[in-house]
Amino acid sequence: MFPKCRRLLAKYFGSLAHGQRSGRRSLTDRGRVELSMQSLEPRQQMTLLLPPPPTESLKVGNTLYFTVSDSSNWERHTELWKTNALTGRTVLVKAFSHDLGRSLVNDLTSANGKLYFTTQTGSSSKELWVSDGTAKGTVVVTAASQQDWNSNADNLTNVRGKLFFTVNTSANGSQVWTSDGTAKGTVMVRDITEGGEAHYAENLTRVGGILYYTVYTTDHSTELWKSNGTHNGTVLVHTIVNPIQQIVVTTGDFPITSVSHLGERPHSLTDVNGTLYFSASASGYGEELWKSDGTTAGTYVVRDIVDGNWGSAPHNLTNVNGLLYFTAQASGSGRTLWRSDGSASGTTMVKDIVGNPFSNPTLLTSVGGKLFFSLATSPTQGAQLWMTDSTTRGTVFVKDCSPGATASYLNKATNVNGSLFFTVFTPDAGTALWKSNGTARGTALVKAFAQLPIRRSIASITNVNGKVFFTAYTSSSRTELWKSDGTPRGTSILNRGSTKPSYVPHTPLTQAFG
């Protein structure tokens, strides 16, 4: 973390009365603990493990895993906790400490009934760990085939119960691996360098039952790969030649060639009913919408919305019942809402609501077959809640949750049993949790929190069996785990900590399935 940020955070940190670190205990047994949410680093998260199918041998139950940091020493001491989402019983799983440097727990992901995550202790690289929910069963995963494999394990992804992740080594660059939690079952799916220069795998995404990912090569191209977890089933789909420009600068007798990109490498990989969509730049195109069916011939630009090197820059790709929504910037307009059925003729603008360069729909969220989104209709007006059924007439204003506010933001949003839960922030009123069924009357405040100039004091909204779990930084200067049934009366703290002041930054909860 940057020194300035550290100094600002340290201003808020209180001391911690350390309790005994063994046995089962609740959060209130400690003198001072806080849920660690988001910052540039660490990126603590929460993961929901649901019961695996009856054919699997391990049953986890409805368990919510999360990390907790000591507010007096949050970079060097992190704990993994779990809570029963039905009973609220919360116990410590394992504590991670290191006197010489950071002790971070990140990337919580479930696969095949097990919890996987990464840790970084001291100056070591990020290691892959696995847990069955007990201290004894929470162990580091080591590959039997290679000693240095566990260098910066990252991008943990569950594809039908199989864990995929990347490992970055000096010899092979960033490669995709898979693991079942054992040394023997932890292997590289395929060495795509094949003795050549290092490659860099990223954007791991589940599409149907297949893993798709991109590989950035040293010749400035990007390869799209897919894998079923086996060597023979890991194959190159398509190579996208990234547009670049070369600038030669001569200093004395020594010419220096600088290579820079004119566009974006593939990003925003999105599954729409088994078809992959993504945004990318390529030679001959600016940044546009692509699709792939897993074959070379079936991987192409859906529509060239804007000619030239810049393109329409599709972002916020969102699947709503098999229809893809995204935002794009066409010539002469701001960023507007678009839809696509996968064909060029079926890729069209939904509606230019604002009609000026300030337009920028955000927070695209699928709820009940419709798309909710946030939009400010003028530079002097705060963000408002909108909804669309993909037609011009069906694109409607829902509600202004902060009437008269010139600066308001809709931040987190998630679908919970056909209702939209989202947060609204204004500098004067702070952050509040809201709920909407798509009508003005059915859009209502659930609970308001501290009037603090912290835009994301509510974070990590997650659906757990029809109830909302989230974290909130409250007026009592602490971050707590909350749950809600969508009513003010049914919104309460799940486990209350101490009252010592602390500031703990946030990041989204991660919901995963075993």
Any idea which residue has 């075993």 for tokens?
Answer: 514
Q: Is the pLDDT of residue 244 over 90?
A: no
* Three-class secondary structure assignment of 224-278: EEEECCCCCCCEEEEEEECCEEEEEEEECCEEEEEEEECCCCCEEEEEECCEEEE
Q: Is the pLDDT of residue 483 over 70?
A: yes
| Residue 435 identity | K
Confidence class for position 112, pLDDT limits 50, 70, 90: confident
If one counts every other C-beta atom within 10 angstroms of the C-beta of residue 359, the result is 20
Give per-residue pLDDT as tens, 365-389. Answer: 999 999 999 998 887 778 899 999 9
Give per-residue pLDDT as tens, 143-200. Answer: 655 555 546 889 999 999 999 999 887 777 789 999 999 989 999 999 887 655 557 8
pLDDT greater at residue 360 or residue 53: 360
Q: What is the reported pLDDT for 509? A: 43
377-385 contacts at long range (C-beta below 8 A, 24 or more positions apart):
377/353, 378/354, 380/406, 381/406, 382/406, 382/407, 382/408, 382/409, 382/426, 383/408, 383/409, 383/410, 384/410, 385/410, 385/422, 385/436, 385/443
Lowest average pLDDT, out of 13-17, 320-324, 336-340, goes to 13-17
**Residue 369 is encoded by which pair of tokens?**
């077959």
